[in-house]
Amino acid sequence: MSQRMVVSEEGLYEVLAFLVSSAQILVNEPHLYGTFRLIDGASRLIGFALESGQLEDEEFFRRLKEDVDERKFLLMTDEDTYFQLLEDSTRAMAREMKKRASAQEAGA
Amino acid sequence: MDVMEAIKGRRSIRQFTDEPIEKDKLERLLEAARWAPSGGNLQKWRFVVVTSASQRELVKKFAPGIFAVPTAFIVICAEVEADANEWKQRLYLADCSIASQNIMLAAYEMGIGTCVALSYAKSAISEILELPENVEPMLVVTLGYPAEDPQPPPRFELSEMAFEELYGEEWKP
C-alpha cells in the first residue's frame, strides 16, 4: 500500500477552506446541503489527488469523481437519483478498499 | 429588451468563459443596483466589485456554493446601523435582494450570466475584502459570459401559489 503524498499543500489549503466554510454555513443551511457539501468535498479532494499524478489507481478515482460530478446537482431536482449517487459512491469506495485490502493480504 | 423577456429568460449561470467583463458594463450593473428601491430609501447597500484573479480565487475558495471561478463577483453588503434591530436586518436583506435582481436582469440584457449565492463563509469574505466591522456581506453575485445554456427549472403553477382576495381562494385568470 502506497504511502505517497497525493495532495499538494496548495490543495490542502483549498480543501480546508472548503471544509471550514461549509461547517460554518451549514449551521443555517437546509440539512440535505450537508450531504451535498460532503460528496462535493470528496469530489474536490479527488480532483487534487488526480492533479498530483501520484495515485496508484487513477482510473477508479477518475470514474468516481465523474459519477459524483454528473449526479450531485440532482439534489435540487431529483432527490431519488441523488440519494442513489450517495449509496453508489459509498458502495464503490467499500468495494475498492476491500479489493485493496485483499491484494495487500495476498501480497503479505 | 422587454422586461418580461429578461425576467423569463434569465437563468442561473454557473459555468463561465474566461472573457473578462468590460468596466463600463460593470458600472452599468452598479447603476442598475443603485436605482433599486430600498426601505425608507435608506440605500444601506454597498457593492464590492471583485475582478482580480487572486481575489476571485480567494472568494471562491470560501464559497462552497460556487462551483467555478467567475470573471467577476459583486459582493452586495449592508452597512449595518448601530441601532439595527431584527426588523432592520430583514430590511437590509430585502433591499440587497432587490438590488441583486436589478443586477441580474441588467446583466442578462448585456449577455452576461449571473448567479446569486448565499453559500459562503461571511467571516472569510469579510477578511478577504477587508470589510469594516459594521459592513456585512449579504449576497454574492457571480458574473461572467455564459459557458452553458441551462434549461429553466420547473416553476409551480400560479394556481399553486397565487390567491384572490383571501388565502386559499383560487386565482382566476
- CATH code, B65: 3.40.109.10
Looking at the complex, report in whole angstroms how far the Cα of residue B120 sits from the nearest Cα belonging to chain A.
7
The share of chain B scoring above pLDDT 70, in percent, equals 100
For A38, nearest residue in chain B (alpha carbons): B64
Flag if A20 and B121 touch (Cβ within 8 Å): yes
> Which chain A residues are Cβ-neighbours of B154 within 8 angstroms?
77
The partner residues of B163 in beta bridges, in order of sequence, read B170
Domains of chain A by residue range: 9-107
Cβ(A86)–Cβ(A39) under 8 Å?
A: yes
Helices (H) and strands (E) in chain A, counts: 4, 0
Q: Is B4 left (phi over 0), alpha (psi -120 to 50) or beta?
A: alpha
**Residue B164 placed within a domain:** no
Spatial separation of the C-alpha atoms in residues B89 and B95, rounded to whole Å: 10
| Residue A72 DSSP one-character state | G
**Element holding B48 (H helix, E strand):** strand B45-50
| C-alpha distances in Å from residue B84, one per residue of A33, A67, B80, B123, B151 | 30, 47, 6, 19, 40
Residue B15 belongs to domain spanning: 3-150
Q: Report the predicted TM-score, pTM, of the whole model to 2 decimal places.
A: 0.84
For A69, nearest residue in chain B (alpha carbons): B67
- Write the ipTM: 0.71
pLDDT tens-digit map of A56-88:
889 999 999 999 999 999 998 899 999 999 999
Spatial separation of the C-alpha atoms in residues A100 and B69, rounded to whole Å: 36
Cβ(B137)–Cβ(B75) under 8 Å?
A: yes
Interface test with B, best of A15, A25, A73 (most B CBs within 10 A): A25
Looking at the complex, report in whole angstroms how far the Cα of residue A25 sits from the nearest Cα belonging to chain B.
6
pLDDT-derived band of residue A7, with 50, 70 and 90 as boundaries? confident
Residue type for position B60 = K
The share of chain A scoring above pLDDT 70, in percent, equals 97
Q: Which of A20, A29, A77 sits opposite B119 (nearest CB)?
A: A29
Q: Which of B61, B62, B64 sits opposite A37 (nearest CB)?
A: B64
> Which chain A residues are Cβ-neighbours of B56 within 8 angstroms?
none
Flag if B121 and A76 touch (Cβ within 8 Å): no
3-state secondary structure of B19: coil
Cβ(B77)–Cβ(B138) under 8 Å?
A: yes
| C-alpha distances in Å from residue A33, one per residue of A27, A29, B46 | 10, 7, 29
**What is the tally of structural domains in chain B?**
1
pLDDT tens-digit map of B62-110:
999 898 899 999 999 999 999 899 999 999 999 999 999 999 999 999 9
HSE-up of residue B93 (Cα within 13 Å, Cβ side): 7
**Residue B103 placed within a domain:** yes
Interface test with B, best of A12, A14, A18, A21 (most B CBs within 10 A): A21
Interface of B with A in 9-38 (CB under 8 A): none
